[in-house]
């Protein structure tokens, strides 16, 4: 696992493993991931130009902490949360139910598509997800289709450590476990989205920063 992964991401992985084993995340894991989400969501909302009442999608939502915090932040708006694994989807549904959120819709995605409705979102983000995509070309086209005109897409990920092993099934042009910003830009732009900016350290002030690449739908 890359040293660039934040501790919160490790907690998410452990939570998913626990769900697969039938145990679910511990209270401590939930608290740590929730605290990270509470710090990050206001910064993410600013970058994505979100306002209460808008619609946003958390693609590859994992344990659901960012989904839940966004659901509270967005107020009368809506959050779509997607994932491709049954354990993750159940974690998110349970979390949303515990928090009493009626503005979150959980959707099972596919390797080639988000399965989000066309033109549904003012903004979409993928956090520590893109480098796992096995079929980025059709997936990126589905991201484009799910955005409203002028909608924003944020890809949050990390650069591979030298010598690290790529996840199983990803394209051969990957250089290890992770992905570089130029490669993200090349692939996402090919789907029809326009690159707006790149933030090299994400979230700002984090000890082990990821990067964020921002796009906009024409």
Residue 7 pLDDT class (50, 70, 90 cuts):
very low
For the chain, the structural domain boundaries read 7-216
Tell me what pLDDT residue 17 has.
38
Mean pLDDT of the 206-210 span? 84
More confident residue, 191 or 85: 191
Residues 131-172 have pLDDT tens digits of 999 999 999 999 999 999 999 999 999 999 999 999 999 999
The CATH H-level superfamily of 7-216 is Vaccinia Virus protein VP39 (3.40.50.150)
Mean pLDDT of the 70-97 span? 96
Whether a cis peptide bond, with omega within 30° of 0, leads into 105 is no
Mean per-residue pLDDT over the chain, rounded: 90
With a cut of 60, say whether residue 41 has pLDDT above it: yes
DSSP string, the chain: --TTS-HHHHHHHHHHHHHHTT----HHHHHHHHHHHHHHHHHHHHHTT--TT-EEEEET-TTSHHHHHHHHHHTTSEEEEEES-HHHHHHHHHHHHHTT-SSEEEEE-BTTB--PPTT-EEEEEEES-GGG-S-HHHHHHHHHHHEEEEEEEEEEE-PPPTTPPPPTT--TT--SSS--HHHHHHHHHHTTPEEEEEEEEESTT-SS-EEEEEEE--
Tell me what pLDDT residue 23 has.
57
């Amino acid at each position: 696992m890359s040293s660039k992964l934040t501790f919160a991401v490790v907690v998410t992985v452990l939570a998913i493993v626990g769900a697969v084993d039938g145990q679910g995340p511990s209270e401590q894991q939930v608290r740590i991931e929730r605290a990270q989400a509470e710090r990050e969501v206001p910064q993410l909302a600013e970058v994505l130009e979100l306002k209460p009442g808008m619609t946003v999608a958390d693609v590859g939502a994992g344990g659901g902490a960012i989904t839940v915090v966004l659901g509270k932040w967005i107020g009368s708006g809506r959050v779509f949360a997607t994932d491709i694994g049954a354990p993750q989807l159940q974690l998110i549904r349970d979390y949303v139910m515990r928090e009493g959120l009626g503005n979150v819709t959980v959707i099972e995605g596919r390797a080639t598509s988000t399965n989000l409705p066309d033109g549904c979102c003012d903004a979409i983000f993928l956090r520590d997800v893109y480098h796992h995509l096995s079929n980025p070309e059709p997936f990126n086209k589905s991201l484009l289709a799910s955005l409203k005109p002028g909608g924003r897409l944020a890809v949050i990920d990390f650069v591979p450590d030298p010598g690290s092993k790529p996840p199983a099934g990803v394209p051969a042009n990957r250089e290890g476990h992770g992905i570089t910003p130029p490669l993200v830009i090349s692939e996402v732009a090919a789907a029809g989205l326009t690159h707006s900016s790149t933030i090299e350290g994400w979230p700002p002030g984090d000890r082990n920063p990821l990067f964020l690449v921002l796009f906009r739908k024409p």
